Amino acid sequence: MEHNEQRRSSLKKIGMGFAALLGVGTVKAAAHKTEKKVLGEVVSDQDIPLFSGAVRHGNTLYIAGKGAHFDGDIKSHTDHVLKELQKGLESNGSSMEQVLKVNVYLADLADYKGMNEIFRGRFGENPPVRTTVATYGGVPGNSLVEMDCIAAVD
């Protein structure tokens, strides 16, 4: 009998653990809830958007990847992408100086030096951390470079 009660108690605890993970029951997880505010352009031609152009979560702003979809070299593409990031940041209450992290995706790693020439100095005296990778198969939309970023918002 005692063994069955221990088993039921253990199963109940496991069930409550699953309920907590699934957000079911009277779990006190509400204190960890944060509001997700979607900002900027929602990109999609469907009823359900594919992705948001920008999302603010607390005092952090996430800007979706920007590319350059025109003929040109890595320098013109990089300049265009950085200007698009800047527009997205400023229209959502941030700035290039408040960028914390940038991800750079190159269609060809041989463009690394040219991209850096245009990238340098665009984020003020304290540049953000950055990850740069060459993509396998190219960047969507035939852009030579795509960038996304995370920034602080006042």
Question: What sign for the dihedral angle of Cα 101, 83, 39, 133?
Answer: negative
Structural domains of the chain sorted by starting position, each given as residue range(s) with its CATH number in brackets:
1-32 (no CATH), 34-152 (3.30.1330.40)
Distance (Å, whole) CA 120 – CA 105? 16
Contact, 74 vs 111, CB < 8 A? yes
Cβ partners under 8 Å of residue 92, min gap 6? 39, 40, 54, 56, 61, 63, 153
Reference 82, options 109, 117, 110; nearest CA is: 117
pLDDT band at residue 5, thresholds of 50, 70 and 90? low
How do residues 33-86 score in pLDDT, each as one tens digit? 344 555 665 554 567 778 899 999 999 999 999 999 999 999 999 999 999 999
Task: Of 43-47, 98-102, 110-114, give the lowest mean pLDDT range.
Answer: 43-47
